[in-house]
């Protein structure tokens, strides 16, 4: 039945080579009850793993029923383990989330015989666990768990039973029961090989093989040497398995789906976090695409509220697009520029300098980080910023660089709640400022919360708070909207003259008017929906990465389970397909819930904000397809990692 010739196996432990087997030659006939004995490190477990096709020898020849096992593929070895061999482990390796019946049925899944549950019940009755058939492993004693493991090893009617220290974790009574079961199986014709270091256990066997340092040192029979039995059925099974090609069928897919659901329910918190990432991404796709039109209309309204006769003068080229340029190539503005522009009374009505920066505000035990804008007196009328409560700062306060502040409504609410802040003292970057007013509510636009800011005199901002020598922005209000182009040209020529700019330096500042902004908006609105969709897609991408991380953690946590599944007949494709089904299932669940949530969010925002929305079928299909693709793409790597695990290393994983 089994023939080993000069089998050797060496493990590399860091820089040290450990010879687990060294020239082992052994023959085992059908119907034998063999005990392989030896101290720890003698090679007995490695020998059993080679016999059980869980490991491959470095050299030598292994024949099973006269067939060489040297060139078997991983799939063929898995099928042989499933159909020919039954494993009983010292650690039981029962899956904790399954009851005795489901654990016993596991080998049937990979044999394509899931429907044969009666066979599993028969084996459970045979080992005396009929009254515990629906109990989970944590509800069983050690002896009962080992009986369940024996039932699992028998469910596919194997010809060979391999037991690795099957009584090592059991008390004396349970040990006697398990050994009696193994003896009874041998009497019914099963070939049993048991690995042990206990002579009391070996006494049950008919043949005892002793090992030390990877070699067989003795081979003795207890009584009469058994006669050879007919191997025709086993040879026939070997021929069928070694010539077949394993494929995932429809019946098996339902099992993979069931296993995925069980795994998800066993780790509800982890599964929820995985689903949450996809859920948020899909909801974002639906909501953002639906709200695209409303958002664009809102942006247009916000820009229109700035006024149609406003010019914004800033240093730096309009062609820079945020790229740093060399020093000296940017025109720096000062108060003399503001004064000069203000003298252009033919085209200019008002002008206001401005600087800005971030600052930390503190009042009592409250603090807030916000945008600080230093502005001139004309800013109040130009930007419709007359305080709703209190007053704007005066010319005297501007000239004397007084530390006075006007709060946006968001800042006032965060620092003072419902109390009136006027007259109170706050700290801005550790400097004491007196609150003299609260700005009117302007609401949030597509870029930022317009009420999350604070206004102070521009002189105070530059010389006392922000330490700036130059002006960031000059706001210019033109007398007549029809003179916008004339005013822009006039101001441009004035700046070139004041700063004595050469021809190649004339692009070192920019003047933007509302017509420019509208032209930019028209180009922007064409891609707004696509941009929003891209942002939502990033959310889906992040969700996919979350699924990948969770699945990688799952592979690590379930390493021993993967080893068990491979030992009882799961192929690499089976393992990969199972983990892939789990990832896709979580993605699909997240996608379905995300569609519902995204539609609800869009409708709620419409109800409260008044934006028009349109939830299109294409956005739903896009979100669903994307979620499935995310599940496949990001689940594939963890699935492949799981499939590549060596069954022996996986079973030994701590």
Q: Are strands 389-390 and 348-363 parallel, antiparallel or unpaired?
A: unpaired
Tell me how far apart the alpha carbons of residues 572 and 551 are, in angstroms, rounded to a whole number: 17
* Predicted local confidence at residue 53, as pLDDT: 86
What are residue 505's DSSP bridge partners? Answer: none
In this predicted structure, what is the pLDDT of residue 247? 47
- From residue 524, how far is each of 347, 452, 519, 579, 623 by CA, in Å? 30, 25, 9, 43, 23
Domain-wise residue ranges, the chain: 2-84+158-246, 256-300+524-651, 332-500
Provide block-wise average pLDDT over 10 residues at a time, the chain (654 residues): 88 80 88 88 87 87 84 81 84 84 85 76 86 88 86 86 83 83 84 87 87 88 68 68 50 73 78 79 77 63 59 74 51 91 90 93 93 93 87 94 94 92 93 94 70 94 92 90 85 89 80 68 65 71 76 78 82 83 84 84 74 70 78 79 78 69
262's tokens: 């069980």
And the tokens for 13?
């432990």
CA distance 648 to 615: 53
Residue 461 has what pLDDT? 94
Among 283, 270, 250, residue whose Cα is nearest residue 582: 270
* Sign of the four-CA dihedral 430, 433, 437, 442: negative
Q: What are phi and psi of 373, to 5 degrees?
A: -120, 125
Q: Residues 312-342, buried b or exposed e (16+ Cβ, 10 A)?
A: bbbbbbeeeeeeeeeeeebbebeeebbebbb
Q: Are 169 and 195 in contact (CB under 8 A)?
A: no
CA dihedral defined by 133, 134, 135, 136, rounded to 10 degrees?
A: 110
How far, CA to CA in Å, does 582 sit from each of 32, 96, 551, 579, 636?
43, 18, 9, 5, 11
- Please name the CATH architecture into which domain 2-84+158-246 falls: 3-Layer(aba) Sandwich (3.40)
pTM: 0.58
**What is residue 322's predicted lDDT score, i.e. its pLDDT?**
46
User: What integer pLDDT is reported at residue 115 of this predicted model?
Assistant: 65
* Sign (positive or negative) of CA dihedral 409, 411, 412, 414: positive
CA 9-30-166 angle, 5° bins? 60
**pLDDT score recorded for residue 370:** 94
Q: Rounded distance, CA 387 to CA 334, Å?
A: 27
Helices and strands of the chain, counted as H and E runs: 21, 20
Identify the three-state secondary structure at position 373.
strand
Question: Which helix (DSSP H) or strand (DSSP E) does residue 476 occupy?
Answer: strand 473-478
Burial of 23 by CB count in 10 Å (0-12 exposed, 13-18 middle, 19+ buried)? Answer: middle
* pLDDT value for 532: 67
Which helix or strand (DSSP H or E) is residue 226 part of?
A: none
d(C-alpha 349, C-alpha 280), whole Å: 50
| pLDDT, position 325 | 46
């Amino acid at each position: 039945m089994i023939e080993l010739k000069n089998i050797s196996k060496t493990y590399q432990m860091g820089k040290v080579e450990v010879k687990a087997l060294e020239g082992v030659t052994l023959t085992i006939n059908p119907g034998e009850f063999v005990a392989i004995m030896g101290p720890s490190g003698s090679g007995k477990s490695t020998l059993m793993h080679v016999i059980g096709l869980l490991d491959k020898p470095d050299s030598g020849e292994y024949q099973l029923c006269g067939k060489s096992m040297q060139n078997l593929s991983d799939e063929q070895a898995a099928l042989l383990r499933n159909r020919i061999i039954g494993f009983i482990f010292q650690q039981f390796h029962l899956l904790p989330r399954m009851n005795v019946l489901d654990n016993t049925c596991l080998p049937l899944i990979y044999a394509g015989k899931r429907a044969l549950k009666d066979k599993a019940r028969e084996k459970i009755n045979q080992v005396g666990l009929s009254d515990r058939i629906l109990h989970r492993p944590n509800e069983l004693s050690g002896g009962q768990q080992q009986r369940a493991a024996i039932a699992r090893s028998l469910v596919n009617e194997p010809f060979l039973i391999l037991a690795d220290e099957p009584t090592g974790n059991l008390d004396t009574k349970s040990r006697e029961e398990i050994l009696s079961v193994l003896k009874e199986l041998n009497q019914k014709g099963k070939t049993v090989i048991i690995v042990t270091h206990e002579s009391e256990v070996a006494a049950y066997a008919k043949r005892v093989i002793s090992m030390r340092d990877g070699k067989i040192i003795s081979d003795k029979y207890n009584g009469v040497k058994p006669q050879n039995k007919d191997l025709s059925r086993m040879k026939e099974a070997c021929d069928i398995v070694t010539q077949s090609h394993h494929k995932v069928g429809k019946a098996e897919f339902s099992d993979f789906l069931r296993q995925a659901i069980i795994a998800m329910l066993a780790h509800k918190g982890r599964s929820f976090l995985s689903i949450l990432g996809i859920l948020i991404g899909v909801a974002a796709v639906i909501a953002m695409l639906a709200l695209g039109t409303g958002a664009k209309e809102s942006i247009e309204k916000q820009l229109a509220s700035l006024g149609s006769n406003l010019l914004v003068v800033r240093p730096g080229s309009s062609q820079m697009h945020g790229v740093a340029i060399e020093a000296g190539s940017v025109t720096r503005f000062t108060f003399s520029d503001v004064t000069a522009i203000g003298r252009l009374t033919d085209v200019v009505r008002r002008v206001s300098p401005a600087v800005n920066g971030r600052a930390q505000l503190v009042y009592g035990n409250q603090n807030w980080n916000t945008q600080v804008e230093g502005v001139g007196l004309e800013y109040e009328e130009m930007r419709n910023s007359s305080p709703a409560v209190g007053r704007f700062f005066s010319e005297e306060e501007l000239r004397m660089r007084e530390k006075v502040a006007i709060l946006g409504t968001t800042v006032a609410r965060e620092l003072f709640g419902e109390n009136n802040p006027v007259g109170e003292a706050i700290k801005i970057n550790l400097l004491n400022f007196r609150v003299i007013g609260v700005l009117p509510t302007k609401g949030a636009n597509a870029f930022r919360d317009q009420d999350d800011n604070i206004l102070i005199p521009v002189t105070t901002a530059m010389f006392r708070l922000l330490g700036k020598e130059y002006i960031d922005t000059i706001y210019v209000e033109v007398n007549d909207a029809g003179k916008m182009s004339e005013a822009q040209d006039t101001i441009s020529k004035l700046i070139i003259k004041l700063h004595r700019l050469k021809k190649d330096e004339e692009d070192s500042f920019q003047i933007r008017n509302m017509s420019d902004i509208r032209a930019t908006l028209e180009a922007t609105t064409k891609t707004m929906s696509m941009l929003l969709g891209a942002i939502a897609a990033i959310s889906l991408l992040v969700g996919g990465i979350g699924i990948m991380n969770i699945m990688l953690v799952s592979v690590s946590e379930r390493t021993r389970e993967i080893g068990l599944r491979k030992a009882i007949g799961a192929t690499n494709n089976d393992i990969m397909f199972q983990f892939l089904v789990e990832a896709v299932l979580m993605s699909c669940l997240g996608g379905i819930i995300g569609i519902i949530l995204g539609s609800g969010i869009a409708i709620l925002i419409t109800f409260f904000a008044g934006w028009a929305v349109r939830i299109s079928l294409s956005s739903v299909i896009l979100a669903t397809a994307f979620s499935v693709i995310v599940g496949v793409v990001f689940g594939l790597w963890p699935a492949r990692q799981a499939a590549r695990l060596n069954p022996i290393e996986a079973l030994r994983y701590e």
